[in-house]
Amino acid sequence: MNTKPLKAYQVQGDEYGCIVFATNSATARREGGNELSLEFGEVESCRRAQWADQYAGVKGGVPPLVMIENGWWQECAHCGHEISTDDIEDGYENDDGNIIKLNPIEKDHLIYCNQHCLDEEMRERAEHDAKAETFKQKILSLRPDLTFKEFRGKWPQCYCSASFTFDGAKYGGSVGYGTDGKLEWRINQNDLKAWETAEIKRKGEQA
């Protein structure tokens, strides 16, 4: 059975646009509108972008630098600066009045202003993951009696938390930091009696 090849379309809203791959314009308009959180009729334009056809089916889609080369701007994944061909050629003036030269770098389908932005992003991610690991080890040391099913908090997850089960539990519970910075243990309502029984047993063994 022959299938129509995917073609690239540039779908544009009032402020933002995107490149989508579809077999026809109507499908591209609908899918592009969904990506831009727009209704079909709210899409301002949908036209072919033949320069991007070669990236149909490619993981990550059109590379950021290729987008820039074809007139788009891309946001630095670290500092958020909008990178365009003009910025690459001439640099841009930061808040202190200094001209910043750009040497964009791609990594994992994201783009960074330069090596400094990439290095800072990697450093912040490493610190983020280290905090998640500290949380994990703290919880494991506090409650070796519980069976932990999953730990969350490593990049790109924002908050540290863990889910667990215990003797007699059907659904289990979770633990994470509350707004006051202290640990909050949350137990499913259906498992409260089993939790109370398990806690009595634990405290009796510690006595």
Interval 7-30 mean pLDDT: 96
In this structure, the answer to whether residues 56 and 157 fall within a common structural domain is no
The answer to whether position 124 is within a domain reads no
The answer to whether position 2 is within a domain reads no
In this structure, the answer to whether residues 21 and 100 fall within a common structural domain is yes
Interval 29-35 mean pLDDT: 97
Asked whether residue 31 carries a pLDDT value surpassing 80, the answer given is yes
In this structure, the answer to whether residues 30 and 106 fall within a common structural domain is yes
Largest CA distance in the chain: 74
Q: Which of 86-100, 116-130, 131-145 has the lowest mean pLDDT?
A: 86-100
Task: Report which secondary-structure segment, H or E, holds 124.
Answer: helix 115-142
Which residues, listed in sequence order, are joined to residue 83 by a DSSP beta bridge? 74
In this structure, the answer to whether residues 189 and 88 fall within a common structural domain is no
Helix (H, G, I), strand (E, B) or coil at 114: coil
Asked whether residue 1 carries a pLDDT value surpassing 60, the answer given is no
Q: Which of 74, 96, 117 is the last residue of a domain?
A: 117
Asked whether residue 186 carries a pLDDT value surpassing 70, the answer given is yes
The answer to whether position 1 is within a domain reads no
Number of domains in the chain: 2
In this structure, the answer to whether residues 83 and 111 fall within a common structural domain is yes
Residues near 200 by beta carbon (within 8 Å), at least 6 away in sequence: none
The answer to whether position 84 is within a domain reads yes
Q: Which domain holds residue 57?
A: 7-117
In this structure, the answer to whether residues 54 and 84 fall within a common structural domain is yes
In this structure, the answer to whether residues 103 and 143 fall within a common structural domain is no
Q: Which residue has the higher pLDDT, 142 or 88?
A: 142
pLDDT at 207: 61
The answer to whether position 122 is within a domain reads no
Q: What is the pLDDT of residues 61-117, one digit of tens each?
A: 999 999 999 999 999 999 999 999 988 877 777 778 888 778 999 999 999 999 999
Chain-centroid distance, C-alpha 41: 29
Instruction: Report residue 25's pLDDT band, with 50, 70 and 90 as the boundaries.
Output: very high
Asked whether residue 30 carries a pLDDT value surpassing 50, the answer given is yes
The answer to whether position 145 is within a domain reads yes
Whole-model pTM over 0.85:
no
The answer to whether position 144 is within a domain reads yes
The answer to whether position 47 is within a domain reads yes
